[in-house]
Structure 1
Amino acid sequence: MVRALRKWKLPQLVGMALLILSLAACGAAKEDTAGKSADNAKEETPKERILTDAMGHEVKIPANPKRVLASYLEDPLLALGIKPVAQWSVNNGASVQGYLQDQLKDVPTIPYDLPFEAVQKFSPDLIIIDSASMVEGGKYEQYNQIAPTYVIGKEENNDWREELLRVGEIFGKKEKAEKLLDDYEAKVKEAKEKIADAGNPSVAAIWLVNGSFFVVSEKLSSGAVMYEDLGLKVPKVVKEISESGTANWNPISLEKLAELDADYIFLVNSDKANGSPILNNKLWKSIPAVKAGKVYEFSPDESWLYTGIIANEQIIDHILKSIAQ
């Protein structure tokens, strides 16, 4: 061994020693990293938790739910990367949330009122209910027998931000939900700057369905995005209807609509298939925004009739494309 070492010159010996030390250090680092990774994996492993819902129920949330049913909460679910086992629908699946179909096209439908037999058919391991009114009359107990059932809020129209945070909490994704909200507020800020450059006009969203008109509430659905988030001006007619109406979209007569003093109208047209004959009416054509050619038409399959972070971001994009090009 000594003879062998004598054949190496000093620089070679020093180099060899450094190589050995380097290899030893790498090995230790790998061991340390592996140990930390194992510890982190243990910390991040989902665990069964008990959360209290809006109605005071203590709900046992499965560690890693695979078959989630959350009718009309598909927007926050998808935003957080969770695909439900079934999706909300009306008229035996004829109407769904069209703006989400890129992600939900292969997901089967379930009636909006969640019949027990239909719920059982999907064998959910977690049920999330949008509002307390959906579980009145003993329904909660029946759903809870099928799977752990969590009620998001007590109101008919819960704040969508709070819904997103609640859903995030249920799935251990609250930080991701908070990041989504931060990104949304940044998008709103940028949009407001562009809208200010366009003169901050007054706008109204109108829904045409079965020959009747509805106007969005000032503080609900896409109205909240336009007026509260983006700060667009609220026409007098919209204020009047919103004060007396309680729904997201409230009926408005064509005669009243003729008084609409909006610079722009966003028209959700559910009657396009039958030619929308009412749009040829003289009263409709007399509306200033219509006469000025400032009506932007959207399909009911788009996001205007809904609310949630995905819907609202799409609405902002539609508005900017229409008035701040």
Structure 2
Amino acid sequence: MIHYYKKTNRKFGLLFISLLAVALLLSACGSKASDSGSSSTTPDKGASEQSAAEPKEKEMTDAMGHKVKIPANPQRVLASYLEDHLTALGVKPVAQWSVAKGIQDYLQTDLKGIPTISYDLPVESVLGLSPDLIIIGSEAQVQKGLYEQYSKIAPTYVLGDAVNKDWRQALLKIGEILNKTDQARKAISDYDTKAKEAKENISKAIGGKSAAILWLTQKNFYLVDQSVSSGAVLYGDLGIQPPNLVTDIPADKRASWNPVTLEKLADLKADYIFLVNSDKGQGADDTLNSPVWKGIPAVKEGHVFEISKSSSWLYSGAIAGGKIIDDAVKYLVK
């Protein structure tokens, strides 16, 4: 419901790192291959045709040049921080990503009860899960000999940042790996249809007005960039105008989450603010009751929409994006 993010702010520890881990999502178990135990000298035509259509083991080259033997019907897929993609394809992973006891709450309708694994994929934990296929989002996750260790446990395929930063590409690649290309294409088509309809309705409702997406965590604000998670949805898929504080950031200085001081927010020119409040109940009241915050035009006009930290707004994928669209329509289309 987060592309694998390259620029992080280490000051805010594991939670912040996890939300910058790229991101965004994947895979699926193919249909179970059936064993042929017939000793008849006359093969059954129907059985032969069915067998020919079943998935077979295949070799694929990943982003790092590894030639990976993909099982025909992987049953225990580990794809940490790519669970949005797996869920979109109808696959339950052997374990789900977590950090500091936090998980991707927006996926729990489908992943409830699935055990967790730390975001950094400790080798011992991976070994204990006995996966039959491992899918990794970023090259950075398998440095310092980790790829060799993972690949001894199970076939390990690295999507790579170039693919993983675009959830559509990542979903398609995972669909290819798991023999679910048709499902991946349908998930993307359904999402694009939904986004198109929402874009038209939002445009009719607010015209060319702008919106800022702010993340409040540990009493610090971050502006969500145009290229990631809810920023990519609002500014890209839905055509909402980004605010000045986002567009004014030089391209070479832009991060996935751009830190901004409360004082700087006084210069924010945005008609609406979507506030992802991770400090809810943890001191956010002091920050949001400050004169500076209350003096921001969108705040004064009551155009602030508070989004729960358990939402999908800091993640990427077909499911995350669909939920973001639902929220945007709910708040902007009256």
Task: Give the alignment's TM-score, normalised by structure 1.
Answer: 0.85
Residue deviations 1:117-151 (CA, integer Å, cap 9, x gap): 11111111100000111111221111101100000
The answer to whether residue 82 in structure 2 is matched with residue 82 in structure 1 is: no
Name the residue aligned to 1:135: 142
Asked if residue 227 in structure 1 is aligned to residue 235 in structure 2, the reply is: yes
**Contact residue 242 and residue 250 of structure 1 kept, 8 A:** no
1:302 aligns with 2:314: no
How far, CA to CA, are the matches of 1:174 and 1:242 in structure 2? 38
The residue aligned with 2:265 is 257
| 1:10-69, Cα deviation, whole Å (9 max, x unpaired) | xxxxxxxxxxxxxxxxxxxxxxxxx88545522331211111111111110111111110
Amino acid at match of 2:200: E
Partners of 1:37 and 1:98 in 2: CA distance: 45
* 1:124 lines up with 2:104 in the alignment: no
Rate the CA distance shift 1:36–1:242 in 2: closer, same or farther, 3 A. Answer: farther
Taking only aligned residues, the RMSD between alpha carbons, in angstroms, comes to 1.6
Give the distance between the partners of 2:135 and 2:255, measured in 1 at CA: 23
Aligned to 2:18: none
1:150 corresponds, among 141, 152, 157, to: 157
1:322 aligned to 2:331? Answer: yes
Secondary structure at 1:313's aligned position in 2?
helix
What is the number of equivalent residue pairs in this alignment?
289
Give the conservation status (yes or no) of the 8 Å contact 1:72–1:87. yes
Change in Cα spacing, 1:82 to 1:64, as seen in structure 2 (3 Å) is same
Give 1:266's aligned residue. 274
Structure 2 matches for 1:60-79, cutoff 5 A? 60-79=69-88
Distance in 2 between residues matched to 1:37 and 1:282, nearest whole Å: 75
* AA in 2 matched with 1:147: A
- Mark the CA change 1:157 to 1:61 in structure 2 (over 3 Å): closer, same or farther: closer
Q: Give the Cα separation in 1 of the matches to 2:270 and 2:300.
A: 12
Residues 1:297 and 1:156: Cα distance change in structure 2 (over 3 Å): farther
What is the DSSP-based 3-state SS (H/G/I as helix, E as strand, rest coil) of the residue aligned with 1:219? coil
Deviations 1:163-216 (A, max 9, x none): 000000010011111111111111111011101111232011101111111110
The offset of 1:226, in angstroms, is 0.8
Query: Matched residues in 2 for 1:246 and 1:238: separation?
Result: 9
Contact kept? 2:164, 2:170, Cα under 8 Å? no
Structure with greater proportional helix content: 1
Is the 2:55–2:73 Cα contact (8 Å) retained in structure 1? yes
Q: Quick one: which of 248, 251, 260 aligns to 1:240?
A: 248
Kept in 2, the 8 Å contact 1:214–1:252? The answer is: yes
Deviation at 1:156, TM superposition (A): 9.2
Give, in whole Å, the separation in 2 of the partners of 1:37 and 1:260.
67
Q: Unaligned 5+ residue runs, structure 2?
A: 1-43
Query: Residue 205 of structure 1 aligns to which amino acid in structure 2?
Result: I
Q: Which runs of 5+ in 1 are unaligned?
A: 1-34
Q: Does 1:55 align with 2:64?
A: yes
What residue is the counterpart of 1:285 in the other structure?
Answer: 294
When residues 43 and 113 of structure 1 are mapped into structure 2, their CA distance, relative to the original with a 3 A threshold, is: same
Do the aligned residues in 1 keep the contact of 2:233 with 2:325 (CA within 8 Å)? Answer: yes
Cα displacement string for residues 78-137 of structure 1 (whole angstroms, at most 9, x for unaligned residues): 10001100111111xx11111111111201110101110111111111000001111112
| Partner Cα distance (2:111, 2:250) in 1 | 33
CA distance change for structure 1 residues 44 and 234 in 2, over 3 Å: closer, same or farther? same
CA distance in 2, matches of 1:113, 1:72: 10
**3-state SS, counterpart of residue 172 of structure 2:** helix
Distance 2:45 2:91 in 1: 28
Residue 51 of structure 2 aligns with an amino acid whose one-letter code is K
> How has the CA–CA distance of structure 1 residues 242 and 299 changed in structure 2, closer, same or farther, with 3 Å as cutoff?
farther
**Could you tell me how far 1:155 is from its partner in structure 2?**
4.2
After superposition, residues 26-45 of structure 1 pair within 5 angstroms as 38=47, 40-45=49-54
Using CA pairs under 8 Å that are at least 6 residues apart, name the structure with larger relative contact order, 1 or 2: 2
Inter-partner Cα distance in structure 1 for 2:211 and 2:46:
53
- Aligned partners of 2:164 and 2:228: how far apart in 1? 8
CA contact (8 A) 2:219 2:283 kept: no
Q: Which has the larger radius of gyration?
A: 1
